[in-house]
Amino acid sequence: MELDAAQAAHFRSQLETLREKLEADAGARQLESVQSNFDTELKDYSEKTRALVQRLRKDVQAATAAVEAFAGTVNESELALESGLKRDLQHLNQTAASDDIQEIRGAIRTTTAKIAASVEQMRASNQLAIAQLKDEIRLLHQEVEAARRPKPDSTSPEARQVDNKIEEMIRKNKPFSVLLVVIRNLEGLGNCHSAEVVGNAVQDFQARFQNILPSSAIVGRSGQDQFAAILGTPPANAMEMSSEVVRKLSSPFLENEGGVSHSVMFNPRAGVIEFRPGSDSVKFQTKLKQLADALAQ
């Protein structure tokens, strides 16, 4: 099931890496690792697809509720107007039997005024309901656009350094893998800790990420909440390495501020994408961005 292009692209990329890993000569231990990674990827994709379906259902329910509220308001206005008209017509019928011209004229004027007031009330009520409906539709459109709107690319020197290294490797037509890590709760941590504590923890996060990887890996911060490692290892090895990276980066970071110790826990996700010699560089950059978007969700 493909509901989100970025999620589906990331899932296909991970499955392709696992398939290549199975095609190589592998022992029982490596097969168990592939099975474990497959189960993890499948569960993650299923959960995200289920969450997206639930979000779509909520959007439909909200729109349905808005339409029902509009219809109910219109129906109530019509019932009230109908009831009022019946009473006024009944009063006119009773007055018609009178021989008093003044009484008949007074009843006509009164009934006419009531009918005009009822019509104005119904028009005002309908206009309010329509305004509410338009507001609901506007909010739904905003939610959909916010979900579709791509995150702004980072322009920090460090991010450009990572991009330049990737472009250099592509230009030299050398095979490499990119292990991308995204911190999913960075914004939430800002609500729990000071900017200094979070900033120091992010620096330690990058240092720990560097220490987990081989010394030949090139590590840099590729975005506000993204870190990239350029590896010369095959994608199967990088995929297996990503599980270890997530496990170790999920451990607490202890930061000190004003003599008080703070435990900062990140929620990282990792993914791997491979560049093969002769591959389309534009498609690779597109897949890399789709991977980053999928990991951030």
Is the model more confident about 21 or about 173? 173
Average pLDDT on 144-158 reads: 52
- Whether residues 166 and 251 fall in one domain: yes
| Residue 63: predicted pLDDT | 60
Residue 99, φ and ψ in degrees, nearest 5: -100, 0
- Whether residues 107 and 145 fall in one domain: yes
Q: Is residue 151 over pLDDT 90?
A: no
CATH value at residue 257: 3.30.70.270
Is the model more confident about 37 or about 282? 282
Domain extent for 11: 1-149
Domain termination residue (choose one: 149, 167, 200):
149
CA-atom Rg of the chain in angstroms:
32
Give the pLDDT band (50/70/90) at residue 125: low
Of 74-83, 146-155, 165-174, 184-193, where does mean pLDDT reach its minimum? 146-155
Q: What is the mean pLDDT of the chain?
A: 77
| Residue 152: predicted pLDDT | 43
Number of domains into which the chain is organized? 2
Residues pairing with 254 in the sheet:
263
- Whether residues 172 and 247 fall in one domain: yes
Residue 113, φ and ψ in degrees, nearest 5: -65, -40
| Residue 149: predicted pLDDT | 46
- Whether residues 167 and 202 fall in one domain: yes
- Whether residues 288 and 183 fall in one domain: yes
pLDDT tens per residue across span 59-103: 666 666 655 665 565 556 566 666 766 777 677 677 766 666 777
| Residue 37: predicted pLDDT | 76
Task: Give me the helices (H) in the chain, please.
Answer: 5-23, 28-96, 101-148, 157-171, 186-189, 195-212, 235-249, 281-296
- Whether residues 166 and 124 fall in one domain: no
pLDDT tens per residue across span 182-238: 999 988 888 888 889 999 999 999 999 989 988 888 888 887 889 998 887 777 788
| Residue 201: predicted pLDDT | 92
Domain termination residue (choose one: 149, 164, 190):
149
* Whole-number Å distance between alpha carbons of 239 and 219: 16
Average pLDDT on 242-266 reads: 90
- Whether residues 207 and 291 fall in one domain: yes
| Residue 268: predicted pLDDT | 92
Average pLDDT on 158-164 reads: 74
- Whether residues 275 and 198 fall in one domain: yes
- Whether residues 165 and 292 fall in one domain: yes
Domain termination residue (choose one: 149, 167, 188):
149
| Residue 72: predicted pLDDT | 60
Give the pLDDT band (50/70/90) at residue 153: very low
- Whether residues 101 and 164 fall in one domain: no
Most confident of 60-74, 81-95, 108-122, 258-272: 258-272
Q: Is residue 31 over pLDDT 70?
A: yes
Of 78-87, 131-140, 143-152, where does mean pLDDT reach its minimum? 143-152
Helix, strand or coil for residue 148?
Answer: helix
- Whether residues 188 and 209 fall in one domain: yes
- Whether residues 102 and 207 fall in one domain: no
Average pLDDT on 238-253 reads: 88
Long-range (24+ apart) CB contacts under 8 A made by 279-284 are: 281/167, 281/170, 284/170
Of 2-16, 90-104, 150-164, where does mean pLDDT reach its minimum? 150-164
Average pLDDT on 141-170 reads: 64
* Whole-number Å distance between alpha carbons of 246 and 242: 6
